[in-house]
């Protein structure tokens, strides 16, 4: 089974250990690319790295395969991971047609219960959720290649347009029609200012805040926002976003106990469940990843919880910094471990 010891994974990445090729891939949030451990590329910052058992899991999370090391071509040595990889291939080659859990389990020779449990523990989602994610990604690719909306919907395997429209708020962040227009009509306003943790970006749609980011430079923050919302029209609007920016800064300066802002964020059902649980953690306290998993009734989904924390789009508003490892070490943080340490120290003093 896929190990939870991410320190070993990171050491393998830093040493470019070929012995770990096939055991996991690592993905870099700042580039959107995933690699095998032995990839010759320059090593990224630890806080920008996530680990996945399979290339398929990294791709479902929105990462692209590295063109230097071709991590998707490496075979795994773990029989459980190999089984999940086989199921992924069956789903990928089903030509968009619905394939049942019973049919999948029969083809790989295990029970439906065992397949569902093993697949979810490794991929962080069920086979049906993986199939749905694949269809949405295929729709995106077709539209970006210039195909018309209706054709892209059916070519991706959706039996009707209504199903994709149901998924649109969480999977696309906009309606399929708007997505197909390259984001025309989807406008995101943003502002950047100083904070006790460095430069702070807050972005919002007309419905609510969609991104809160911490960084070292305005250029970095703006580039990351544009990469995440590539199909939308991005506008700098300091006057519109100043109240939201002030709300975050006031919280960091201990003027307010929490950040109350309307949100408009994309999330899978599992991510939303995790993020809602994080918002229940009071300032001054920390939970382990396993405690969060137990809190949502999925105690074996520890790795999936860690990935949900790493993909949190609204720093501080959803306090993913309050989640640490079982051994009390900090774990990861999308915006840097030094910032996570300062946040926890500040909240402990104010408790």
Tell me the per-residue pLDDT of 110-145, one tens digit each, with 9 for 90 and over.
999 999 988 887 877 788 888 877 777 666 666 555
272-314 pLDDT, tens digit per residue, is: 889 999 999 998 899 999 999 999 888 878 888 888 898 899 9
Q: HSE, CB side, 13 Å, CA atoms: give it for residue 51.
A: 26
Task: Report which DSSP code applies to 199.
Answer: E
Amino acid 181: pLDDT: 47
Residues marked as catalytic: 35, 320
Task: Report which DSSP code applies to 288.
Answer: E
Element holding 25 (H helix, E strand): strand 25-28
5 burial (CB, 10 Å; 0-12 / 13-18 / 19+) is exposed
248-278 pLDDT, tens digit per residue, is: 999 998 888 889 899 888 776 778 889 999 9
Question: Given strand 233-236, what is the order of strands in its sheet?
Answer: 209-215, 198-204, 187-195, 233-236
What is the spatial distance between Cα 320 and Cα 279, in angstroms, rounded to a whole number? Answer: 8
Average pLDDT over residues 310-332: 90
Residue 347 near residue 286 (C-beta atoms within 8 A) = no
Instruction: Give buried/exposed letters for 316-331 (b at 16+ CB in 10 A, else e).
Output: bbbbbbbbbbeeeebb
Helix (H, G, I), strand (E, B) or coil at 60: helix
Residue 283 near residue 351 (C-beta atoms within 8 A) = yes
Residue 169 near residue 277 (C-beta atoms within 8 A) = no
Percent of the chain with pLDDT over 90: 33
What is the spatial distance between Cα 79 and Cα 225, in angstroms, rounded to a whole number? Answer: 39
Which residues have CB under 8 Å from 48's CB, separation 6+? Answer: 28, 29, 30, 334
Least confident piece of the model among 46-55, 169-178, 216-225, 330-339:
169-178
Least confident piece of the model among 18-22, 27-31, 56-60, 152-156:
152-156
pLDDT band of 12, cuts 50, 70, 90: very high
Amino acid 152: pLDDT: 53
Amino acid 182: pLDDT: 45
- pTM value is 0.55
Amino acid 2: pLDDT: 47
Residue with more model confidence, 182 or 231 = 231
Cα–Cα–Cα angle for 13, 16, 19, rounded to 5 degrees: 95
pLDDT band of 50, cuts 50, 70, 90: confident
Which residues have CB under 8 Å from 173's CB, separation 6+? Answer: 186, 210, 229, 232, 266
Average pLDDT over residues 138-155: 58
| Closest CA relative to residue 284, chosen from 336, 202, 347 | 347
185-197 pLDDT, tens digit per residue, is: 568 999 999 999 9
**Plot region of 185 (φ>0 → left; ψ -120 to 50 → alpha; else → beta):** left
Element holding 50 (H helix, E strand): strand 49-52
């Amino acid at each position: 089974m896929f190990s939870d010891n991410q320190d070993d994974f990171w050491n393998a990445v830093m040493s470019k250990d070929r012995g770990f090729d096939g055991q996991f891939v690592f993905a870099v949030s700042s580039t959107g690319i995933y690699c095998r451990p032995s990839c010759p590329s320059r090593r990224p910052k630890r806080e920008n790295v996530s680990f996945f058992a399979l290339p398929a899991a990294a791709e479902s999370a929105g990462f692209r395969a590295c063109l230097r090391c071709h991590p998707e071509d490496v075979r795994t040595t773990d029989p459980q991971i190999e089984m999940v990889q086989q199921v992924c291939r069956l789903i990928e080659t089903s030509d968009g047609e619905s394939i049942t859990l019973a049919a999948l389990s029969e083809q790989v020779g295990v029970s439906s219960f065992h397949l569902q449990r093993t697949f979810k523990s490794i991929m962080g989602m069920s086979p049906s959720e993986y199939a749905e994610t694949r269809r949405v990604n295929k729709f995106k690719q077709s539209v970006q290649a210039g195909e018309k909306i209706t054709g892209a919907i059916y070519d991706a395997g959706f039996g009707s347009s209504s199903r994709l429209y149901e998924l649109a708020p969480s999977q696309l962040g906009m309606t399929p029609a708007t997505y197909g227009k390259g984001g025309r009509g989807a406008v995101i306003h943003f502002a950047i200012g100083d904070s006790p943790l460095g430069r702070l970006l807050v972005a919002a749609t007309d419905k609510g805040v969609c991104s809160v980011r911490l960084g070292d430079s305005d250029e970095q923050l703006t580039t990351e926002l544009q990469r995440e919302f590539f199909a939308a029209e991005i506008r700098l609007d300091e006057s519109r976003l100043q109240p939201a920016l002030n709300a975050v800064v006031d919280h960091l300066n201990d003027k307010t106990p929490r950040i109350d802002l309307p949100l408009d964020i994309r999330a899978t059902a599992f991510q939303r469940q995790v993020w809602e649980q994080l918002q229940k953690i009071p300032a001054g306290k920390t939970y382990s990843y396993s405690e969060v998993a137990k809190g949502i009734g999925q105690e074996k989904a520890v790795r999936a919880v860690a990935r949900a924390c790493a993909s949190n789009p609204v720093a501080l508003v959803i306090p993913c910094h309050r989640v640490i490892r079982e051994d009390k070490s900090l774990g990861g943080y999308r915006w840097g471990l030094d910032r996570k340490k300062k946040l926890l120290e500040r909240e402990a003093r104010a408790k």
